[in-house]
Structure 1
Amino acid sequence: MSSSDIFIGEIIGTAVLILLGGGVVAAVVLKRSKAQNAGWLAITFGWGFAVMTAVYMTGTLSGAHLNPAVTVGIAIKDSDWSNVPVYVAGQILGAMIGAALVWIAYYGQFQAHLTDPEILAEQPAEEGMVDQKAAPNAGPVLGVFSTGPEVRNVWQNLATEIIGTVVLVLAVLTQGLNDSGKGLGVLGALITAFVVVGIGLSLGGPTGYAINPARDLGPRIVHALLPLPNKGGSDWSYAWIPVVGPLIGGAVAAGIYNIAFA
């Protein structure tokens, strides 16, 4: 596959991933959404279906990595880093596009949520807390775009992201790559989608399971740039954890694969 195929495929695939994944979070969280308060099960299955849709859509074009941690894992497995920058650039750009599309699709709900007196009344008390368990610099809709911890503990949060990503990338590497060796096969894509659901159900509680640097960083940038009223901060003090943790997890998974399965 050519560099242009990889770049375009990763943009499209990651945009679809974030559109559907961020979209289910918006549906559950935002006021005046028909799916408001649908709960964690809806979010985890929504993200699983988002992965499945994006992988099947672009697997033949780019291999549908859709995640720098997966790209790093495959690069370590194959000892081939030549296309890593192209993959990562497409993934981050695609994630930003997907996040912007979520904002467009839920524009009215964002406006209603962020101008609701009840939501506004909650913010000053939260921001004034000195030792806040959640994110002191996170606005009320940041969770639609990116992740954050329920208990702010750097080493626990980092470990959680590493562990979740090891499970994801090891699943990708062991569930059958396509003939090119650069992405998931048909059955592997379906299995991995359910693995994402499983990670969300079992390991998503502490941090919201980014397990994907592009999935978190791209939408966080969009949150910082969008003209959302009363949007609050983008919690940049936490932003490194869902980037570094998954990259470490992807490398660890590749090491386990090379030792145990290769």
Structure 2
Amino acid sequence: MSADMTQIMGEFIGTAILILLGGGVCAACNLNKSKAQNAGWIVIAFGWAMAVTIAVFISGFMGPAHLNPAVTIAMAMNGNISWGLVIPFIIAQVLGAIVGAILVWLAYLPHWDETEDQGAILGTFATGPAIRNLPANMITEAIGTFVLVLALLAFGNNDLQFGNNVFAVGAVILAVGLSLGGPTGYAINPARDLGPRIAHAFLPIKNKGDSDWGYALVPIIGPIIGAIIAVLVFKMF
């Protein structure tokens, strides 16, 4: 396998693991008769932070482990990867996210029929706003991703060993989730929202309702804007 294909596979596998564990904690907290039902926001925030950490450890030996189209675009802007890898990485990330969401569905297979709340089901797959105001929601997503990408760029300039670097990334995800996740559920990653939303649309889930495609552009465009601004700010210094 070529070096580029190994990196692309790393993005696919890593993003699948990210969504399996991250979507898994949402399923655990949202779905009826789950032992973790109603465990709350802190559990979800910690679950996503650990999901990112584990996914980066698993895929990091294959490539840069971006697992996020906004991060991939930012790293290309900063010169860390070639622009020729951007589209293949993004495709791999979205496909990996779809696979990860399907694995969550399989892991919680009996619980979907027991859950009638359409919002809880969709919330297991995709993000949604606490108050629906698309411009404000997009600003929130941009700010959260700005923090994430600026931190990633800064970590690259620090003398951190690989393991410490990965745990630092998990800490950023936890901080963003606890501090900035309330308004929109902090997608801060277009693939994290789009892939599972696609899976939600085609999976045979009883009572699933609408996939809310009217909101879907917010967790795609907002993170990309935030990532671009982070690179521009980083390059000022």
TM interval, short-chain normalised:
over 0.9
Task: Map 1:82-101; keep pairs closer than 5 Å.
Answer: 82-101=84-103
Q: Does 1:46 align with 2:40?
A: no
Corresponding residue of 1:112: 114
Structure 1 unaligned spans of 5+: 120-137
Corresponding residue of 1:234: 211
Offset, 1:202: 0.3
> 2:10–2:59: 8 Å Cα contact kept in structure 1?
yes
> In structure 2, the residue corresponding to 1:101 is in which secondary structure?
helix
Structure 2 unaligned spans of 5+: none
TM-score by length of structure 1 reads 0.86
Q: State the AA in 1 paired with 2:17.
A: V
Corresponding residue of 2:190: 213
Q: Distance in 1 between matches of 2:23 and 2:108?
A: 10
Q: Does 1:165 align with 2:145?
A: yes
> In structure 2, the residue corresponding to 1:32 is in which secondary structure?
coil
**RMSD of the alignment, in Å?**
1.7
Corresponding residue of 2:4: 3
Q: Does 1:223 align with 2:224?
A: no
Task: Map 1:1-80; keep pairs closer than 5 Å.
Answer: 2-78=3-79, 80=82
Offset, 1:178: 10
Corresponding residue of 1:193: 170
> 1:176–1:185: 8 Å Cα contact kept in structure 2?
no
Q: Distance in 2 between matches of 1:25 and 1:194?
A: 19
Identity, % of aligned positions: 52
Q: Distance in 2 between matches of 1:98 and 1:196?
A: 19
Q: State the AA in 2 paired with 1:249.
A: G
Corresponding pairs, count: 234
Cα distance per residue 1:155-183 (max 9 Å; x no partner): 1100000000000011111112799xxxx
Q: Distance in 2 between matches of 1:73 and 1:177?
A: 15
Q: Max radius of gyration: which structure?
A: 1
Q: Distance in 2 between matches of 1:188 and 1:176?
A: 9
Gap change, CA 1:177 and 1:104, over 3 Å in 2: farther
